[in-house]
């Protein structure tokens, strides 16, 4: 488990109290505690319907990335997911390093804990991610580097075993994650080529994407197979070029009759970058014109160092961008919206030093605040899902 940093900046930080030492006692108990001993996830501030129910009313799906250990150890966290998320995505538990830490030794404990937790509440779980350059154990990195044949074998063995295990529980997988290289001008540009330089690319060439999808389709023909990537949502020269690259990759795969069903747009948005609704909508439509579903798979927002505003104006800016992005995506035909976490305290934009806000304040880019309560971003999503406008003055009350 990662340790969350102390709350800082943003809203007046409430003192963190230790959990009451309870085992997971179900949402009812959690709510009772929230009313009496704890301010977290106050039921009076978070009445039903949750976001997943609001989304469902419009034929949309809402869910979030989740951490198995927190579902188990923090009843307020579990209650928040029970309230808000219709789909669960393991934030780490279904990545290569988690599933196959040693060659041939598979561990499904954390992943299956999430699946079971969801099944008990009639929620589905999505798989993330079979082939990626991060969260790779050292053994796999080394093995892939040995030869193309060995790399192909590692890929095939992993996909085969994992899809066999989740055949009856997961219908939706990110098969390849982050295959496109970041163009010049990106936050972290890559020097070479249109495809990201990864162990898979080095071993198998650009065809590794096609190979992964073909193996996945063969192993489980009714799965929805998704290609997931990021950095294509905003209106910057780098994002324009990355859109072009992703579209070119997708069109090449479709032309080669590769079994690709959907494209996932991660949508780790940065509100100090410009967003153009027409530009983004056109991109979504271009993907859909290839016969693909388009999903928003990892929505969260970072405010960037140039946003000097303070709370509550910061929350309004986050909500405003959330609303613009989400309503544009719905208009262009996106039906699935997944945030990368629900609660600020546990968001990777707070806990991961690579993306955390500088200067002593933390990002507030997921729907629930540090105390697990709904904030403006939650209401922006709810209004976008319902097709409602912001308040006349631009706030989401
Ligand atoms: C992130 C997790 O949230 C972090 O906890 C971890 O340190 C790194 O990975 N794109 C993805 C996700 O596809 O898997 C990443 O998740 C965030 C970026």
Look-up of token digits 């009445």: 47
388 CA from centroid of ligand 1 (Å): 31
Hey, which of 129, 266, 299, 340 would you mutate to test ligand 1's pocket, going by the most ligand atoms within 8 Å of its Cβ? 340
Per-residue pLDDT, 334: 99
What spacing in Å lies between the alpha carbon of 366 and ligand 1's midpoint?
A: 14
Question: Of all protein residues, whose CA lies closest to atom 15 belonging to ligand 1?
Answer: 91
pLDDT at res. 38: 60
Question: For residue 300, what is the enclosing H or E element?
Answer: strand 293-302
Ligand 1: residue of 296, 298, 343 to mutate (most ligand atoms within 8 A of CB) is 298
Closest protein CA for atom 3 of ligand 1: 348
The sign of the torsion formed by the CA atoms of 43, 48, 53, 55 equals negative
Q: Residue 2: inside a domain, yes or no?
A: no
Does residue 289 form part of some domain? Answer: yes
**Domains of the chain: total:** 1
Q: Which of 288, 302, 365 is nearest to 330 (CA)?
A: 288
Burial 113-129 (b: 16+ CB within 10 A, else e): bbbebbeeeebbbbbbb
- Which pLDDT score, from 0 to 100, does residue 12 have? 35
| Residue 24 included in any domain | no
Kindly state whether residue 10 falls inside one of the protein's structural domains: no
In a domain, 22, yes or no: no
- Ligand 1 pocket check: which of 88, 92, 263 to mutate, most ligand atoms within 8 Å of Cβ? 92
Q: Distance, CA 349 to ligand 1 centroid (Å)?
A: 10
Q: Within a domain: residue 248? A: yes
10: left (phi > 0), else alpha (psi -120 to 50), else beta?
left
pTM of the entire predicted model: 0.91
Rounded to whole angstroms, how far apart are CA atoms 31 and 197?
A: 48
Coil, helix or strand for 235? Answer: coil
Per-residue tokens: 246 = 């992703």
CATH number of the domain that 77 lies in? 3.20.20.80
**Helix/strand/coil for 184:** coil
What DSSP letter does each residue of 71-124 carry, written as one string? HHH-HHHHHHHHHH-SEEEESSTTSHHHH-SBTTB---HHHHHHHHHHHTTT-E
Which residues' Cβ are closer than 6 Å to ligand 1? 91, 177, 266, 298, 348, 352
Mean pLDDT by 10 residues, the chain (397 residues): 38 34 38 52 94 98 98 97 98 98 98 98 98 98 98 98 97 98 95 94 98 98 98 98 98 98 98 97 98 98 79 92 98 98 97 90 95 97 98 94
Residue 45 lies in a domain: yes
331: enclosing H helix or E strand? helix 313-332
Q: Tell me what pLDDT residue 61 has.
A: 98
Using alpha carbons, select from 157, 289, 158, 292 the residue that is nearest to residue 226.
292
Give pLDDT, residue 304. Answer: 78
Non-local (6+) Cβ contacts of 59 within 8 A are: 335
Atom 5 (ligand 1) nearest CA: 348
The angle that helices 208-219 and 148-165 make with each other, rounded to 10 degrees, is 30
Residue 397 is assigned to a structural domain of this protein: no
20 vs 16, 36, 42, 75, 250, CA distance in Å? 12, 12, 16, 10, 50
Domain that holds residue 35: 29-386
Give distance in angstroms: CA of 91 to centre of ligand 1.
7
Q: Is the dihedral of CA 309, 311, 315, 318 positive or negative?
A: positive
Strand partners, 294: 263
């Amino acid at each position: 488990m990662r340790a969350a940093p102390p709350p800082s900046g943003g809203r007046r930080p409430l003192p963190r109290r230790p959990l009451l030492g309870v085992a997971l006692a179900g949402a009812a108990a959690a709510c009772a505690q929230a009313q009496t001993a704890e301010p977290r996830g106050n039921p009076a501030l978070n009445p039903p319907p949750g976001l997943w129910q609001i989304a469902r009313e419009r034929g949309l799906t809402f869910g979030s990335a989740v951490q198995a250990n927190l579902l188990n150890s923090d009843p307020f966290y579990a209650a928040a997911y029970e309230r808000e998320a219709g789909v669960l995505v393991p934030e780490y538990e279904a990545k290569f390093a988690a599933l196959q830490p040693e060659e041939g030794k598979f561990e499904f404990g954390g992943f299956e804990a999430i699946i079971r937790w969801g099944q008990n509440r009639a929620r589905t779980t999505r798989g993330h991610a079979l082939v990626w350059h991060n969260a790779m154990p050292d053994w796999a990195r080394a093995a892939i580097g040995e030869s193309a044949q060995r790399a192909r074998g590692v890929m095939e063995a992993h996909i085969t075993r994992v899809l066999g295990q989740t055949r009856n529980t997961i219908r939706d997988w990110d098969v390849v994650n982050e295959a496109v290289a970041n163009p010049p001008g990106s936050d972290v540009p890559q020097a070479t080529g249109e495809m990201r330089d990864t162990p898979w690319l080095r071993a198998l060439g650009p065809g590794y994407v096609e190979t992964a999808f073909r193996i996945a389709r063969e192993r489980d023909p009714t799965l929805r197979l998704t290609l997931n990537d990021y950095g294509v949502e905003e209106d910057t020269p780098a994002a324009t070029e990355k859109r072009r690259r992703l579209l070119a990759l997708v069109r090449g795969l479709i032309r080669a009759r590769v079994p690709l069903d959907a494209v996932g747009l991660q949508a780790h948005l940065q509100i100090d970058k410009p967003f153009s609704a027409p530009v983004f909508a056109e991109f979504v439509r271009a993907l859909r014109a290839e016969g693909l579903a388009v999903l928003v798979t990892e929505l969260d927002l970072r405010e960037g160092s140039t946003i000097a505003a303070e709370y509550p104006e910061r929350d309004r800016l986050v909500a405003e961008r959330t609303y613009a992005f989400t309503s544009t995506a719905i208009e262009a035909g996106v039906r699935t919206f997944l945030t990368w976490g629900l609660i600020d305290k546990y968001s990777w934009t707070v806990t991961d030093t690579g993306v955390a806000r500088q200067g002593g304040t933390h990002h507030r880019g997921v729907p629930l605040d540090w105390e697990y309560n709904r904030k403006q971003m939650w209401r922006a999503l709810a209004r976008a899902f319902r097709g409602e406008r912001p308040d006349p003055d631009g706030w989401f009350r």
